[in-house]
């Protein structure tokens, strides 16, 4: 008789443990989903790139959270310069800041005439040089 009671208790405890684990995983999943929706709703502030020394180009403003600079036809910021790689650099909005990253380009990316070796924070007034093209960065204040 006591063997049956112990078996029933073991089954009950195993079921309680699995119910608790299921509840904990559901709670974590729900919280992650809510946080991802909040982060996805945050829009990147407008970033404006003005090419310096080239009168024929107007300043271009972007509101995407990720921009690629290069000769590739799909690049958000196309640069027709033979010294620029197809996917030369990336501008990304993360952690409430704009960042610039060199994408292993042949001739490198420079921020204020310093080589970009790791992801680096951008501020208004910075100058990015890819190949022979120099662009001034202006970041709009966040709404």
Three-state DSSP state, 95? coil
pLDDT value of position 89:
94
3 state SS of 61: strand
Query: pLDDT value at position 58?
Result: 79
Longest dimension (CA), the chain: 94
Q: Whole-model pTM above 0.75?
A: no
Going along the chain, which residue ranges are E strands? Answer: 47-52, 60-62, 66-70, 77-78, 89-94, 97-102, 109-111, 114-115, 120-121, 127-130, 133-139
Q: What is the pLDDT of residues 11-56, one digit of tens each?
A: 999 999 999 999 999 999 999 999 888 776 677 888 999 888 765 5
């Amino acid at each position: 008789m006591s063997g049956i009671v112990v078996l029933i208790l073991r089954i009950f405890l195993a079921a309680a443990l699995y119910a608790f684990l299921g509840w904990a995983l559901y709670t974590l999943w729900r919280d992650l989903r809510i946080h991802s929706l909040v982060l996805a709703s945050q829009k990147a502030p407008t970033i404006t790139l003005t090419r310096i020394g080239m009168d024929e180009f107007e300043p271009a403003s972007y509101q995407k959270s990720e921009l690629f600079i290069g000769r590739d036809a799909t690049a958000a910021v196309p640069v027709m310069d033979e010294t620029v790689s197809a996917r030369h650099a990336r501008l990304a909005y993360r952690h409430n800041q704009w960042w610039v990253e060199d994408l292993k380009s042949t001739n490198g990316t420079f921020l204020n005439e310093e080589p970009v070796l790791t992801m680096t924070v951008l501020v208004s007034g910075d100058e990015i040089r890819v190949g022979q093209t120099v662009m001034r960065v202006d970041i709009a204040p966040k709404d």
